[in-house]
């Protein structure tokens, strides 16, 4: 998979964390968080349905969720940017 060609502000850390994306309608889309950084995450989505511009990412290992902006999508993969910088990284 070709990832976007832009400089990263912080290093990525590979993960395999089960999670879910919650839409504004309350639907949950299962996902796997493939890597994280202070600014966001790369996920794989088990369903090929469209994603809204922003979603709530809930990690299986966490009680809360993080509001994320969908930055790019390539097939089952998507790049998410945290709207609360650093919050996602502290939960993994």
Query: Tens digits of per-residue pLDDT, 2-21?
Result: 455 555 567 788 889 999 99
Does residue 42 lie in a domain region? Answer: yes
Does residue 33 lie in a domain region? Answer: yes
d(CA 13, CA 24): 28
Our count of domains for the chain comes to 1
* pLDDT of res. 39: 86
CATH of the domain at 24: 2.40.10.220
DSSP character for 82? E
Residue 92 vs residue 52, higher pLDDT: 52
Does residue 90 lie in a domain region? Answer: no
Does residue 32 lie in a domain region? Answer: yes
* pLDDT of res. 42: 94
* pLDDT of res. 1: 39
Does residue 89 lie in a domain region? Answer: no
Tens of pLDDT, residues 37-89: 888 999 999 767 788 999 999 998 888 889 999 999 998 999 999 876 544 55
- Look up the domain containing 60 and give its range: 13-84
User: What one-character-per-residue DSSP string does 28-73 give?
Assistant: EEEEEEEEE-SSEEEEEESS-----SEEEEEETT-SSEEEEEEEEE
Does residue 22 lie in a domain region? Answer: yes
């Amino acid at each position: 998979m070709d990832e976007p060609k832009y400089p990263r502000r912080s290093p990525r850390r590979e993960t395999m964390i089960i999670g879910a994306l919650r839409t504004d309608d309350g639907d949950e889309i299962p996902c796997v968080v493939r890597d994280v950084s202070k600014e966001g995450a790369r996920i794989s989505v088990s369903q090929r349905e469209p994603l809204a511009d922003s979603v709530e990412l809930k990690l299986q290992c966490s009680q809360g969720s993080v509001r994320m902006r969908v930055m790019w999508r390539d097939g089952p993969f998507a790049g998410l940017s945290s709207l609360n910088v650093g919050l996602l990284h502290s939960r993994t």
